[in-house]
Structure 1
């Protein structure tokens, strides 16, 4: 399969969908009701926490806000976990060509996670997400056509074959791959193994996911339905 792969020269923004909050919460408000003491606690924290991200080439790369860089790019490379192209022994960063594809992908995993907690599938559950636009510049291994001959690349739940592919990509030092989306056939995903090909994370939008029975209602604007996904069938409606 690898002998027949081509390279996709990707130089574009990709969407990264992560857990977040629409409204931030003061982390110290459960310790005291005095706002002045909140500020004091924040000052103490600022004095002891590690320094923020600094670019290795500040003349070329203007240092951007460290939290966005960490949340949008570096997190999966610091916190390895099992996924489609990793058995948990190395980090992989996933992004999509559109916000809509990230919704289909993340909704599936969110719903499957809720099913693991007894009773959640029968409750109204709300989650909030943040989507970043991240610049990707790399020659990625193109697996879009390979899936026609190797359908396990798009298997909905068995990741064994994909993890073996990911292990080889990681071992050989390729920056990443481009593949078709499993959850949204019209979409495409990138799996990145080297954070050096990602840069310039920017806020794209905030999303709210609301589980109603077997449906997930997605809002871009609070109170206004954007996408509805029926988790009981393969298709989703907009």
Structure 2
């Protein structure tokens, strides 16, 4: 078991970090609106009178402290990971009870992380070979004091087990409850890659959409990705 008190806190400031999300998720009007976040509860109350399905779009706004909400252009990319959570969608640093925004230090790292999870999803389906889901690259800045799991695998390896989230979720739950900004950690899928898991949306800024991406499933793994805008196709190198 990892000693939570032994995890150092380190400043992490990345300009141009990368996040890859499914393209099927549209922007959420409330978050993109010019209204200030402190006015959102009143707007939601008024809008619900004519749009009873509104909360399905916005998610659970109560999961984000009012002082840590962000609005304006691109804010959907920062808010949605915290308002749309479910125990049915756990991840490395949450059991689905609270939101986490994951970002990587560069595109190659983000690709490796998302391709791994897409492969696991596709392996559970009977989908034939072909180009599958569409994704989009989000470019953003992150700035936080992160509890840092990088650089000491002997101490922190339990939280970085490639295919088990038991210890990582337990560590993250304690840190989240104690008010941590988030966690910096080495990528489990890309050698030399680094990632951050943010516990609040206001720790990221300036999100803009980058490239659209398609992943190709060959029946066993994702072997190619494509940029529809340029038509360029790239082969995914297998990492032993």
Shift in Å, 1:51: 7.9
State TM-score, norm by structure 1: 0.74
Q: For the pair shown, which has the larger CA radius of gyration, 1 or 2?
A: 1
CA deviations on 1:22-72 (whole Å, 9 max, x unpaired) are xx9xxxxxxxxxxxxxxxxxxxxxxxx758433459xxxx9632xx311x2
* Structure 1 vs Structure 2 CA RMSD: 2.4
1:88 aligns with 2:96: yes
Paired residues, what number? 197
Gaps spanning 5+ residues in structure 1: where? 25-48
Gaps spanning 5+ residues in structure 2: where? 39-69
Cα distance between partner residues in 1 of 2:14 and 2:218: 35
C-alpha distance 188-177 of structure 1, shift in aligned 2 (>3 A): same
- Alignment check: 8 A CA contact 1:5 1:146 kept: no
C-alpha distance 51-199 of structure 1, shift in aligned 2 (>3 A): closer
- Greater Cα shift, 122-131 or 198-207: 122-131
Aligned counterparts, 1:87-236, within 5 A: 87-117=95-125, 119-120=126-127, 122-216=128-222, 217-220=224-227, 222-230=230-238, 234-235=239-240
Q: Which has the higher strand share?
A: 1
Q: Which residue of 2 aligns with 1:20?
A: 23
* Secondary structure at 1:86 match in 2: coil
Q: Which residue of 1 aligns with 2:80?
A: 75
- Alignment check: 8 A CA contact 2:31 2:79 kept: no
- Alignment check: 8 A CA contact 2:132 2:217 kept: yes
- Alignment check: 8 A CA contact 2:123 2:220 kept: no
